[in-house]
Amino acid sequence: MTGANGTALSATGLHTFYGKSHILHGVSLEVAAGRITTLLGRNGAGKTTTLRSLIGLTPAREGRITIFGQETTRWPSFRVAALGVGYVPEGRRIFPNLSVEENLKVPLERSGPWSIARIYDLFPRLHERRHNRGRQLSGGEQQMLAIARALLVNPRLLMLDEPSQGLAPLVVREMFRIVEQMRSEGISVLLVEQNARMSLAIADHAYVLDDGAIVYSGPAKALAADEERVQALAGAGAGEWQADDSPLNGLSERYRNA
């Protein structure tokens, strides 16, 4: 069920509440195995709430979640993660009081190809800064650390919540390149983003969420071609991103405060 044509995750009819406020109104979505699925939507649409429901941090009150063939609907988040789900939370949530290396020792050690040594190969910058506290890192470095931390669970499914938020353009490109690389590693990806253009460029399938309900589901290419919709999704920031071809190995000091 995790083969090339299989489904990594499927959710049907999720209703999620914060106290009395009803946030998700019957969200259903699927993440195909080995593919990148992106979940787009404007501020407050419910993207973060959807991911939190899927990982079990804010359990859905109604609905059903199946991950790699297991029904995980009522599971606590540590059990969901232990199934092989890596989670990169909104705002990164780096442990500020721990060093970079200690941050990397927090995740469960599921067996698999990822080790701290391999993480340092992929992110040389994290190796350089391994003795620095989490709070001393730049935004870009923190985002890399958040992704690295999730990879150390050796995930079969990676869920990222706005990994490009607040990063400089070059770092954003680096970040999307890494997400693409994860797909070639065979990891299924659910990518929540505000940066509609770039997500659609790497994604296979796209969903659009609005007011807690899915309003679009289709191939990412098809949505990308619909300039009007993309404009609406991307809002004011649509034209701001400029391509920049200068090579980037690791993360530059220049983006320390990105």
Ligand X SMILES: Nc1ncnc2c1ncn2[C@@H]1O[C@H](COP(=O)(O)OP(=O)(O)OP(=O)(O)O)[C@@H](O)[C@H]1O
Q: What are phi and psi of 50, to 5 degrees?
A: -60, -50
48: left (phi over 0), alpha (psi -120 to 50) or beta: alpha
Q: What are phi and psi of 101, to 5 degrees?
A: -65, -40
Q: Which is nearer to another protein, 135 or 221 (by Cβ)?
A: 135
Query: Using the rule CB under 8 A, is 183 a contact of another protein?
Result: no
Nearest residue relative to Mg ion (C-beta): 48
DSSP string, 48-73: HHHHHHHHTSS--SEEEEEETTEE-T
Stretch 162-221 residues interacting with ligand X (CB under 6 A)? 194
Query: Using the rule CB under 5 A, is 48 a contact of Mg ion?
Result: yes
Q: Mask: binding to another protein, 128-147, rule CB under 8 A, as x and -?
A: -----x-x------------
Best CA proximity match to 192, nearest among 13, 41, 26: 41
- Binding region for another protein (CB under 8 A) out of 77-85, 196-204, 233-241, 242-250: 77-85
Q: Which is nearer to ligand X, 89 or 107 (by Cβ)?
A: 89
Query: Using the rule CB under 5 A, is 90 a contact of Mg ion?
Result: yes
Q: Which is nearer to another protein, 119 or 233 (by Cβ)?
A: 119
Stretch 77-136 residues interacting with ligand X (CB under 6 A)? 90
Contact 207, 231 (CB under 8 A): no
Among 5, 43, 249, 257, binds ligand X (CB under 6 A): 43
Query: Using the rule CB under 8 A, is 11 a contact of another protein?
Result: no
Q: What is the Cα–Cα distance from 58 to 34, expressed in whole angstroms? A: 26
Angle of helix 169-184 relative to helix 139-151, nearest 10 degrees, comes to: 10
Give me the sign of the Cα torsion angle 175, 176, 179, 185. Answer: negative
Stretch 55-74 residues interacting with another protein (CB under 8 A)? 55, 57
Q: Shortest approach of ligand X to residue 203 CB, angstroms?
A: 17
Best CA proximity match to 77, nearest among 67, 69, 92: 67
Stretch 101-130 residues interacting with another protein (CB under 8 A)? 102-103, 105-110
Q: Shortest approach of Mg ion to residue 115 CB, angstroms?
A: 31
Q: What is the Cα–Cα distance from 124 to 23, expressed in whole angstroms? A: 40
Q: Shortest approach of another protein to residue 59 CB, angstroms?
A: 13
Return the one option of Mg ion, ligand X, another protein, none that residue 27 interacts with (CB less than 5 to 8 A, by type).
none
Applying CB under 5 A, the residues found at the interface with Mg ion are 48, 90
